[in-house]
Amino acid sequence: MDSLVRAFESLFDRLPAVAWPPLALAFVLHLGRTAARSRAWRNVLAAAYPDEDVSWRSVFAAYAAGVGVNTLLPARGGDLLKLYLARRAIPGSTYPTLVASLSVETIFDSLVGSALLAWALAIGAFPGVDALSRLPSIDWLWVFHEPKLGAVIAGAALVLGFVLGIWAGRAGRSLWARLAQGVAILRRPHDYARGVVFWQAVDWTLRLVTVGLFLAAFGLPVTAENVGLVQVSQSLSTLLPLTPAGIGTEQALLVYVLQGEGSTGAILSFSVGMRAAIAAVNVVLAAAVLLIVLRTVRWRRALANAPDAPSNERP
């Protein structure tokens, strides 16, 4: 926490030196990323419900709202809101199908993310496992230092998996049919490549360019290697999202991988500034969407009062 406070102090000290034109362009490209991601998800849902008119505007609203809430809450709590809004927008849709549809985008993301991580490890940019435990602010390594607690968590996960397996078996073919419906686009490779992979490639391109613009805005060297290392650090920091947006972990990783590219204060101000700026855009966009769709920003109350909330879904 102390290091994070110092990072924010460094950010405020360096605000006068921030280059605002690349920062403004980064905001625009980030909105473009949201549009591209929501377009890919819309195409997945359209394939799952070919007889329904799946509106991209409605899917964009659901996606943007979910991303905004995930920015504020750990453990991806915004995904419930995302599913609820998508359920409202698509007549006859079910939560098992909607949940399965989200898995389609993980295929391309996993391939690209794994390739970037393999590259970063190959060039020796990241520390070994023994050094990771000594980095400050790594918020998900505590489980490795508490073996008893880790064993309890692992046991609870096994029990939960067993219970879910029994429930899924009893649910029968209806549940599996709905899950298969959510990934229907994978059975049409041409549609998948054109409607999902293409838009995800656009998203990744905008993502990397946005990182470069933030580096430029904070006066750090803009190189392909630095952009790639920042992206890998962001991905690793949200791998186990136990804190909102993986904050803390990302700052520690970036100080390590960008050492020599600038002072520690400059790197911390860049990291916190980029995270804060993106978070602000996500939250403002989510608030606007919720006001338009739900007429309120109290999304938890809307979920609790909804007769078709995710927890009430029946297979």
Contact 185, 44 (CB under 8 A): yes
Chain segment 105-133, per-residue pLDDT in tens: 999 999 999 999 899 888 888 765 445 44
The pLDDT value recorded for residue 142 is 47
Q: How far apart are CA 66 and CA 312, in angstroms?
A: 19
DSSP state of 15: G
| Radius of gyration of the CA atoms of the chain, in A | 21
Q: Where would I find the beta strands (DSSP E) of the chain?
A: none
Instruction: List C-alpha distances in Å: 15 to 2, 59, 218, 281.
Output: 20, 36, 9, 18
Q: Compute the mean pLDDT over every residue in the chain, rounded to the nearest whole number.
A: 80
Which of 195, 226, 218 shows the shortest CA–CA distance to 275?
A: 218
Instruction: List C-alpha distances in Å: 44 to 17, 170, 201, 239, 265.
Output: 43, 27, 15, 24, 43
pLDDT band at 5 (very low <50, low <70, confident <90, very high): low
pLDDT band at 12 (very low <50, low <70, confident <90, very high): low
The pLDDT value recorded for residue 187 is 94
Angle at 101 between CA 100 and CA 104, to 5 degrees: 100
* Predicted model pTM: 0.77
Contact 60, 34 (CB under 8 A): yes
Q: How far apart are CA 153 and CA 289, in angstroms?
A: 37
The pLDDT value recorded for residue 308 is 59
